[in-house]
């Protein structure tokens, strides 16, 4: 099967500069992984990765001679980031694994593209394209699997996972983004993930969290997360989490025109100490906590809008709708948006000097509660004592 990619980034000056400097010196230059996969799928490409038979020190030498900026971002693993006209392109020497411990690998350089392909994770990620867009499939399975949206480990799934246990989570994430969710997940891969799930415990929480956020940002992560639950992986990552309502939430989001949001979805899946287990940022942890607290408070749509703002209020309405198995009612959405625009007509200064200290705060809260209960209809004169 022969393929060729056509992409703006392939024709752009930065890509041409880096491939040109390597090829002019007699070296191979192959784009690999996500940029090739996504180009074949017609999806956006965010990062460019090149692989070559040139050793890292040679890449540095050639880059400097070509007026480009080499940055040794991963030189221990054979990677140099070459910055061309402001665009970073990771250039990694062909490698083969020598030893792995489930988190990192000891590698040796290679001059064989097939050896480089064999050490990658999934067949659809072991696709290469030269500077002219001609695609190479060294393993002979990547193109067919990509065309069928069939996510499979390269070789024996157990071996690939033991090389890096994060590949368990990547298996589910890539299935959600690139797999045929209607055709089901690869049975051999799923069985290997289930058997080796204990290895997730040795991964850093930052790596686990990054994978889970990417998974939850997929258009429809529900089938993949359901497979995580069946295999016992979900309980390793989020003990107490539930996958069942996620499919309903995805439907609710689609009907309401809501973009996928990983924090909203994590709030629904739940689990113990989610923010800590996934090492969420302070902003992400705060957003997750606000959604959970709002659900527990039982506020109506108007109060949700008033207290959280329209966006977060709509998130809570979506969560509540998913848990009850229905869609967001138009009137609830309108009420939440009205609440977000509302402003309490009474200020603390209006109650002084009759009230001060704790009594002032208590009186202001009582007035606010009456105003919210009125649907924000009561005016200042009606609310003042």
Sign of CA dihedral 351, 355, 356, 360: negative
Q: Name the pairing type of β-strands 30-32 and 128-129.
A: antiparallel
Among the listed ranges 1-15, 54-68, 121-135, 214-228, which one has the minimum average pLDDT value? 1-15
Helix runs in 53-165, H state only:
56-65, 113-118, 142-147, 157-163
pLDDT value for 99: 56
Higher pLDDT: 199 or 355? It is 199
- Is the pLDDT assigned to residue 192 strictly greater than 90? yes
> For residues 223 and 148, what is the distance between their CA atoms, to the nearest angstrom?
17
Q: Before 132, cis peptide (omega within 30)?
A: no
Only one residue has tokens 């998913």, namely 322
Is 134's pLDDT higher than 90? yes
Q: Is the pLDDT of residue 372 over 70?
A: yes
pLDDT digit string, tens, across residues 20-50: 999 999 999 999 999 999 999 999 998 999 9
What pLDDT, on a 0 to 100 scale, did the predictor assign at position 77? 83
Asked if 291 and 269 count as a contact pair (C-beta separation under 8 A), the reply is no
Mean pLDDT of the chain: 94
Tokens 């005016």 found at = 379
Sign of the alpha-carbon torsion through 229, 234, 236, 239: negative
Length of the chain as a residue count: 385
Quickly list DSSP for 274-305.
HHHHTT--HHHHHHHHHHHHHHHHT--HHHHH
309 or 105: which leads in pLDDT = 309
pLDDT over 80 (residue 284): yes
Confidence of residue 104 (pLDDT cuts 50, 70, 90): low
Q: How far is residue 213's CA from residue 218's CA, in Å, rounded to a whole number? A: 9
Report yes or no: 149 and 183 within 8 Å, Cβ to Cβ. yes
Going by pLDDT thresholds of 50, 70 and 90, the confidence category of residue 128 is very high
CA distances from 87 to 21, 68, 71, 141, 203 (A): 15, 10, 12, 31, 31
- Rounded CA gap, 168 and 216, in Å? 15
Prediction pTM value: 0.89
In terms of C-beta density within 10 A (0-12 exposed, 13-18 middle, 19 or more buried), how is residue 71 classed? middle
- Exposure string for 281-320, b = 16+ CB within 10 A, e = fewer: eeebbebbebbbebbeeebebbbbbbbbbbebbbbbbbbb
The radius of gyration of the chain's CA atoms, rounded to the nearest angstrom, is 27
* Predicted pLDDT of residue 102: 47
Round to whole Å and give the CA distance between 134 and 129. 5
Tokens of 172: 């589910």
Q: What's residue 98's pLDDT?
A: 59
pLDDT at 107: 66
In this prediction, residue 1 has a pLDDT band, given cuts at 50, 70 and 90, of very low
Best CA proximity match to 232, nearest among 182, 176, 194: 194
Per-residue pLDDT reduced to its tens digit, 141-181: 999 999 999 999 999 999 999 999 999 999 999 999 999 98
pLDDT, mean of residues 256-283: 97
């Amino acid at each position: 099967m022969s393929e060729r990619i056509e992409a703006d980034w392939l024709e752009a000056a930065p890509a041409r500069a880096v491939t040109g400097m390597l090829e002019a010196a007699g070296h191979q230059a192959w784009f690999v992984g996500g940029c090739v996969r996504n180009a074949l799928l017609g999806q956006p490409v965010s990062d460019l990765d090149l692989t070559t038979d040139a050793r890292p020190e040679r890449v540095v030498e050639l880059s400097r001679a070509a007026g480009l900026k080499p940055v040794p971002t991963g030189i221990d693993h054979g990677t140099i980031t070459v910055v061309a006209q402001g665009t970073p392109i990771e250039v990694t020497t062909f490698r083969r694994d020598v030893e792995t411990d489930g988190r990192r690998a000891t590698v040796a350089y290679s001059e064989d593209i097939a050896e480089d392909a064999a050490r990658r994770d999934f067949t659809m990620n072991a696709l290469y394209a030269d500077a002219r867009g001609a695609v190479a499939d060294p393993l002979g399975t990547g193109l067919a699997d990509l065309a069928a949206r069939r996510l499979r480990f390269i070789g024996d799934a157990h071996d690939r996972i033991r090389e890096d246990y994060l590949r368990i989570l990547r298996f589910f994430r890539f299935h959600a983004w690139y797999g045929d969710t209607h055709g089901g997940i690869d049975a051999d891969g799923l069985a290997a993930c289930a058997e080796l799930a204990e290895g997730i415990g040795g991964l850093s929480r930052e790596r686990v969290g990054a994978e889970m956020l990417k998974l939850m940002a997929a258009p429809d992560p529900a089938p993949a997360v359901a497979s995580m639950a069946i295999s016992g992986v979900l309980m390793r990552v989020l003990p107490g989490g539930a996958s069942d309502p996620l499919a309903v939430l995805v439907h609710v989001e689609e009907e309401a025109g809501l973009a996928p949001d990983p924090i909203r979805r994590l709030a629904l899946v739940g689990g113990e100490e989610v923010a800590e287990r996934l090492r969420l940022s302070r902003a992400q942890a705060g957003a997750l906590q606000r959604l959970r607290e709002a659900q527990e408070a039982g506020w109506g749509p108007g109060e949700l809008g008033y207290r959280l703002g329209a966006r977060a209020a709509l998130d809570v309405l979506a969560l509540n709708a998913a848990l009850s198995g229905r869609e967001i009612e138009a009137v609830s959405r309108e009420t939440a948006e009205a609440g977000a625009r509302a402003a309490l007509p009474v200020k603390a200064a209006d109650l002084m000097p009759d009230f001060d200290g704790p009594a002032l705060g208590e009186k202001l809260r009582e007035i606010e509660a009456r105003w919210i209960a009125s649907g924000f209809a009561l005016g200042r004169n009606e609310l003042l004592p």
